[in-house]
Structure 1
Amino acid sequence: MSVAAAFDAVAGSYDAARRRLVPCFDAFYGTAVEVAAPPLRAALASGRTPEVLDLGAGTGLLSLLIAAAVPGVRVTLVDGAPAMLAVAAGHLRARAVPHRTVRADLAHPLPAGRYHAVVSALAIHHLDDAGKRTLYRRAVEALVPGGVFVNAEQVAGPTPALDRRYDEVWTSRITELGSDAAELAGARERMRHDRPATVGDQCRWLGEAGLVDVDCFFKEWRFAVFGGHRPPA
């Protein structure tokens, strides 16, 4: 089963499980929104429409949170799973958020346009390391000067022992939060497609791609938020 098919199969129930399967949900997504918001607000203040590109957007969860924090944004959502995009479009229409959806794999060229923020949540880890580095370069090229890239991501531990510990903690936490055996099995089946990289490697790749002020803004075991800015003109 492809990555897109695996996520299409759970499109209707995906959001309901997020707070269990991402135990640090509020801090994780909240930090991503905080990092993305300043250039969007600056665009609004200058009379422009803030443009957001959401890579591997899924059901649109991150885009919805950004739109709630910065009313007036326009969102372009990219995902390879049509059922997930359909759910996202329904959520955005219900909240009157201007948007367009693009069905595409993250290995494909990005939609034309220049964006004040390029964001992603729990998607880029499906690419191999070469694919991640290529996507990061494309994301930087898609940003306006001063724009921000934010990746809220599942990451690998810097050593095999720490990676095992990440998994032990995650399994314990989601069980405490109510995930049953079936939900855990489903999550692990989708995780067969995962190719996570460490925070350190990915921050280095972002710097090599041309971003400045690169940092990891939040990290709790396997969940991290990192990114940086395209230099001003």
Structure 2
Amino acid sequence: MGVAEAFDAVAGRYDEARRRLVPCFDQFYGTAVEVAAPPLRAALASGRTPEVLDLGAGTGLLSLLVAATVPGVRVTVVDAAPAMLAVAADQLRAAGVPHRTVHADLTDPLPAGRYDAVVSALAIHHLDDDAKRALYRRAAGALVPGGVLVNAEQVAGPSPDLDRRYDDVWVAQATALGSDDAEIAAARERMAYDRPAPVAAQCDWLVEAGLVDVDCFFKAWRFAVFGGRAAV
């Protein structure tokens, strides 16, 4: 089973566990939306429909939050798991969000177009480091001037000891929020496909990709939100 098949298998119930398995859910997703919002609002103010590209969109959770915060955006959701994409399409349609779905791997060429925001949540860590760097370059090149790239991500600790500490904290927090042994074990099965990298390295790769104002905007142990802006 590959990563797409692993996520397709849980597509119908994926979102129900998010608040337990992402203990910092509100700040994590809220920060990503806050970083993405300014260029989207600027596009609206100029009379243009803001374009959002959601990479590894899964069930469309991040796109839905962006669209709720900045009504009027148009979203392109990309994922390699067709069942997850189907859930995303249903949810975006129900919310009245203009969208298109693209069945593609994150190593494939990006959908044609220029975007005011390229966003991603809990997806890019499935790539190895070379593929992450290549994706960041492609994503930066797809931004309009002033557009933003924001990645809400699961990251590695900067040392093996800290990485183990990240995991201990995650288990304790998820358990406190109601995750049981079965849910955590199922999450670990999906995590077998993870290739997380430290925040500092990924911010360096965003700078290499040509972005400016690169920063980590939120971090709580293994969950971080970082990104940058295309120069005007």
Q: Aligned to 1:109, what secondary structure does the other structure show? A: coil
Q: How many Å separate the matches in 2 of 1:184 and 1:140? A: 35
Give the 5 Å matches for 1:2-151. Answer: 2-151=2-151
Instruction: Look up the match of 1:176.
Output: 176
Give the 5 Å matches for 1:180-219. Answer: 180-219=180-219
Give a deviation string over 1:170-208, Cα, whole Å, max 9, x none: 000001111111101100000000000000000000000
Q: How many Å separate the matches in 2 of 1:143 and 1:68? A: 21
Identity over the aligned pairs, expressed in percent? Answer: 80
Q: How many Å separate the matches in 1 of 2:73 and 2:155? A: 28
Q: Aligned to 2:169, what secondary structure does the other structure show? A: helix
Q: Aligned to 1:197, what secondary structure does the other structure show? A: coil
Instruction: Look up the match of 1:230.
Output: 230
> How far off is 1:81 after superposition?
0.2
Q: Aligned to 2:96, what secondary structure does the other structure show? A: coil
Q: How many Å separate the matches in 2 of 1:78 and 1:60? A: 9
Give a deviation string over 1:19-67, Cα, whole Å, max 9, x none: 0000000000000000000000000000000000000000000000000
Q: How many Å separate the matches in 1 of 2:221 and 2:96? A: 35
Q: Aligned to 2:11, what secondary structure does the other structure show? A: coil
Residue identity matched to 1:176: A
Q: How many Å separate the matches in 2 of 1:146 and 1:167? A: 36
RMSD between superposed Cα atoms in Å = 0.3
**For structure 2, which runs of at least 5 residues remain unmatched after alignment?**
none
Q: How many Å separate the matches in 2 of 1:124 and 1:174? A: 22
Q: Aligned to 1:136, what secondary structure does the other structure show? A: helix
Runs of 4+ with deviation above 6 angstroms: none
Q: Aligned to 1:12, what secondary structure does the other structure show? A: helix
Q: How many Å separate the matches in 2 of 1:107 and 1:135? A: 7
Q: How many Å separate the matches in 2 of 1:212 and 1:225? A: 16
**For structure 1, which runs of at least 5 residues remain unmatched after alignment?**
none
Q: How many Å separate the matches in 1 of 2:19 and 2:96? A: 25
Q: How many Å separate the matches in 2 of 1:33 and 1:55? A: 14
Residue identity matched to 1:165: R
Q: How many Å separate the matches in 2 of 1:95 and 1:179? A: 28
Residue identity matched to 1:104: A
Q: How many Å separate the matches in 2 of 1:163 and 1:67? A: 34
